[in-house]
Structure 1
Amino acid sequence: MTTRDFKKAPAAGPKLLKAALPALPGIGNLPGIKHTGATAPDLVLELPHVRTDKAHLARYNEICGYAPTDTLPPLYPHFAAFGLHLTLMTDTAFPFAPMGLVHLRNHLEHRRPIGVDEEFDLAVKAHDLRPHPKGQLIDITTTARVEGVPVWSETMTIFSRGRKGAGEETTRPPLDGVDAPSGVVEWKLNGNLGRRFASVSGDRNPIHLYPLTAKAFGFSSNIAHGMWTKSAALAALQNRLPKAYTVDVEFRKPVLLPTTVIFGSRVQDGVTTFGVTSARKPGTHLVGQVVPA
């Protein structure tokens, strides 16, 4: 395993440009741009001594609906690691070109709260390339450590559509058969939500920014970030989350902006099931479960 250390977070802008190059006719097949990996890359990216910018945190809290506290919101380390994620996915050893990939599932292990003033170390790696009935899946795991002790980890399951490597999944999806609860809480989402969240997440994928840029990728309008939807759902549960827990979510349908969605939740045997559904016609955007550790 090769480890690559960073003294500061990689800038997202150049990596987003690099992510687009493999999709350009004629350029995408050039050496140094074409993705040639056949397996998950044997690579770990590390960023030590991460400190939280409190102004940035305040903007994130406002956009996602968190009440400020002295600890970080559950998903905040994900965004501290976003530059590492892009660096990994734009490496030509990564098996898929980034454009067109779909964040299908997300698993969070929240072992203990991270204080706003605590320093933490991040590590990112890809693993478990495997079949899906309509393509392939690969996991990207991010781990946060405080003084060498793991306190937080997240696994993004990424889907690549295509015939190559397609087949039945080797394990049952964690939320297979779980339906989103009904709810009465409406969220009215403006058309600029994608641009606002891009300003704090760093994810300026064109599908999130404007209707015109999203249409180039087959969407009728720009779509909300899946990680905004998960962030907002956990913000709605903020006062009900234990200190240590796991959260699984599945992103089932894009949230086309502007729109109104409905948040709902239920608790059974200590497990909180939650979901975000369409207010205009039947459809589930996100379903998730919180399980105390």
Structure 2
Amino acid sequence: MRAAALRPEPAGRDRVELPRMPAAGALYRRALLGALPGPGGGRRGPGVPGVELAVGGVSVDRAHLAAYDRVCGFRLTDRLPGTFPHVMGFPLTLRLMTAPDFPFPLIGLVHIGNRITVHRPITADETLDFTTYAENLRPHDRGRQVDVVLVGSVAGEKVWEGVSTYLGRERKPGGGDRSGRNEPPAGTSRWRVEPRVGTEYARVSGDHNPIHTSRLGARLFGFHRPIAHGMWSKARCLAALENRLPDAYTVEVAFKLPVPLPSTVSFALLPDGGFALHDSRGRPHLAGLVR
């Protein structure tokens, strides 16, 4: 493996160019070691990593794209769903988030929000360059939160950008409740979410966090059974909106209560461009907005 190139970035970050997309499996093993006490764990960095990681020339595997479309409910086409570049670049963000100077251990981190901007349609015959970095470490009423930015470009043109907000839970007095108390909107459709969604989405996304795929893994982190990936929930909602989306748009979601596997959820389309996902008792799983 070639040594990574390193050069200074104007924003105060060093740019590290990797020769290829990292392997997610090895990074998850590093994350598991980082969750253990002792020398394998170690102290976390006090701020965000001072680097921007980059990988160029990432092509679309059409079989992978088709499998992703099926799991999330998209039509089978050569146009990438707005959430698919997140999956393509996920191993790069995973490399950033498993570094010793990332402020939180990956295992136990909570994905609380995601914003995606599609600047133009992207097709399967295009090759993307990805960069990722972390920024905006700030307080949260249940700990601290940080944004992980992933940017996709084609021939120097920024075509896609995603910002994932993660919560590192810390003990604080009077922690807030993010489940929401408002009356839920009327559902326009209901979906049955089967247990296989956890393992199938893990396979197509590379996100093998055990809280999504293992009953034991879920219980270790306080869940009675596995929960669906938040980005699967977002993708499934976008699939329901597929015919309404313009060529360029921003879609932002806040993840509320997790979706246990199995369960039945209610999808609601709102008149202001918003959408929501609720459980059978009206409690919110996700609140989103397209603009």
Equivalent-residue separation in structure 1 for 2:174 and 2:138 (angstroms): 9
Residue in 2 aligned with 1:152? 160
Match of 2:71 among 55, 63, 72: 63
Per-residue deviation, 1:76: 0.5
Q: Indicate how the Cα distance of structure 1 residues 78 and 146 shifts in structure 2: closer, same or farther if over 3 A, else same.
A: same
Question: When the two structures are superposed, what TM-score results if normalisation uses the length of structure 1?
Answer: 0.89
Any idea what SS the aligned residue of 2:271 has?
A: strand
Residue in 1 aligned with 2:133? 125
Equivalent-residue separation in structure 1 for 2:153 and 2:37 (angstroms): 42
- 1:247 and 2:251 are equivalent in the alignment: yes
Percent identity for Structure 1 against Structure 2: 42
| CA displacement 1:129-161 (0-9 Å, x = unmatched) | 111112111000000111101111000011111
- After TM superposition, list the pairs within 5 Å mapping 1:1-293 onto structure 2: 1-28=13-40, 33-163=41-171, 181-268=185-272, 272-279=273-280, 281-291=281-291
Tell whether the 8 Å contact from 1:123 to 1:142 is kept in structure 2 after alignment.
yes
Pairwise CA RMSD: 2.1
For structure 2, the 5+ residue unaligned runs are 1-12
Equivalent-residue separation in structure 2 for 1:122 and 1:180 (angstroms): 38
Tell whether the 8 Å contact from 1:109 to 1:153 is kept in structure 2 after alignment.
yes
Q: Indicate how the Cα distance of structure 1 residues 124 and 93 shifts in structure 2: closer, same or farther if over 3 A, else same.
A: same
The AA in structure 2 aligned to 1:283 is R
Q: How many residues get paired?
A: 277
Q: Which moved more, 1:64-73 or 1:19-28?
A: 19-28
Per-residue deviation, 1:104: 0.4
The AA in structure 2 aligned to 1:278 is D
The AA in structure 2 aligned to 1:3 is R
Q: Which moved more, 1:176-185 or 1:200-209?
A: 176-185
Equivalent-residue separation in structure 2 for 1:84 and 1:179 (angstroms): 39
Equivalent-residue separation in structure 1 for 2:182 and 2:16 (angstroms): 39
Equivalent-residue separation in structure 2 for 1:102 and 1:36 (angstroms): 17
Equivalent-residue separation in structure 2 for 1:240 and 1:275 (angstroms): 16
Any idea what SS the aligned residue of 2:203 has?
A: helix
Equivalent-residue separation in structure 1 for 2:132 and 2:184 (angstroms): 30
Runs of 4+ off more than 4 Å: 176-180
| CA displacement 1:71-128 (0-9 Å, x = unmatched) | 1000111111111111101101111111111000111111111111111110000011
Tell whether the 8 Å contact from 2:44 to 2:105 is kept in structure 1 after alignment.
no
